Amino acid sequence: MHLSIIVPAYNEEKTLYKNIKIFNDYLSKQGYDYEIIIVNDGSIDETEKIAKKLAAEINNLKLINNKINKGKGAAVRQGLLEAKGEYRLFIDADNATPINHLEKAWPKFKQGHDIIIGSRSPKDAHGACQAVSQSWWKRLLGTCGNLIIRKLAIKNIWDTQCGFKIFTRKAVENIIPKTTVNRWAVDAEILAIAQLLNYKIAIIPVYWTNSPNSRVGIKEYFSTLKDVFKIKHNLNKAKSKIVNRKPRTF
């Protein structure tokens, strides 16, 4: 299978049906085989019912139905590891980053990159923009958070949190089982591990629209920063193991 797309979903009853149909309509015209995986992360609205309706209508759609909420990180990890595609994309259910940005990713893979990430920041990629911007406090917290992430865990990437990331199968199999955080900081953790392991990462500019239904609030921002310190601790332990590893004898 060429492509798997993973859509983590928590209380997405307002937009899930429409956006999955948009994803499937686009993919069905691309000439390669694909699957769509919805990970319903313990939703308490009608998300499960809508996802089951979609599964009945779309033959190559798989539903992973978690009865309790485990967090975005856990849902992304579960979907990526259960996917079958040689390339695996996780994308936000709100379609904030249109799926046709995939067209920018394929040339990067041909150039030898292992991971392609979307960025909303012109500091990462010329042409990146936010069509509908976030509120001032989200922009402020996001900027401060990105500075901390860059200081502690990740080099040379301004926007680690854009929900549009695509991986080769081998990158998924090597990186994702090493992740530990279960919520919003999973994006940063994946990139930090990828950099530690010297994977080739390319950044593409995206045209991003802020969703009015976003549930990312102040609590989630501070929870993410807490997890970033956990990521930093884990990175230090991993680096120590590499430095202190005994040389092989022959």
Q: For the segment 171-206, what is each residue's pLDDT rounded down to a tens digit?
A: 999 999 999 999 989 999 999 999 999 999 999 999
Asked if pLDDT for residue 72 goes beyond 60, the answer is yes
| Alpha-helix residue ranges (DSSP H) falling in the chain | 16-27, 47-57, 72-82, 102-110, 136-152, 169-175, 186-196, 218-244
pTM beyond 0.85: yes
**What pLDDT is recorded for position 143?**
67
Q: Is residue 195 helix, strand or coil?
A: helix
At 96-142, the pLDDT tens digits run 999 999 999 999 999 999 999 999 998 999 888 776 555 655 666 66
Residue 131 lies in a domain: yes
Question: Is 249 part of any domain?
Answer: no
Name residue 200's amino acid: K
Domain range spanning residue 87?
A: 3-244
Strand partners, 65: 40
Look at residue 75 and tell me if it is in a domain.
Answer: yes
250 lies in some domain:
no
Domain assignment present for residue 52? The answer is yes
Average pLDDT, the chain: 89
What pLDDT digit, counting tens, does each position of 26-43 carry?
A: 999 999 999 999 999 999
Q: Taking CA 156 as the corner, what is the angle to CA 155 and CA 161, rounded to the nearest 5 degrees?
A: 85
3 state SS of 248: coil
Whose CA is closest to 167, among 77, 60, 89?
89
Provide the token pair at 189: 């953790």
Residue 54: which residues within 8 A CB-CB, separation 6 or more?
Answer: 16, 17, 20, 21, 38, 61, 63
Given a contact cutoff of 8 angstroms between Cβ atoms, the answer to whether 42 and 10 are in contact is yes
pLDDT at 130: 73
Any domain includes 21: yes
- Contact between residue 37 and residue 83 where contact means Cβ atoms under 8 Å apart: yes
Q: What is the C-alpha separation between 116 and 148, in angstroms, rounded?
A: 22
Q: How many domains does the chain have?
A: 1
DSSP state letter for 245:
P
Residue owning tokens 């199968």? 169
pLDDT reported for residue 250 = 29
**CATH number for 225:** 3.90.550.10
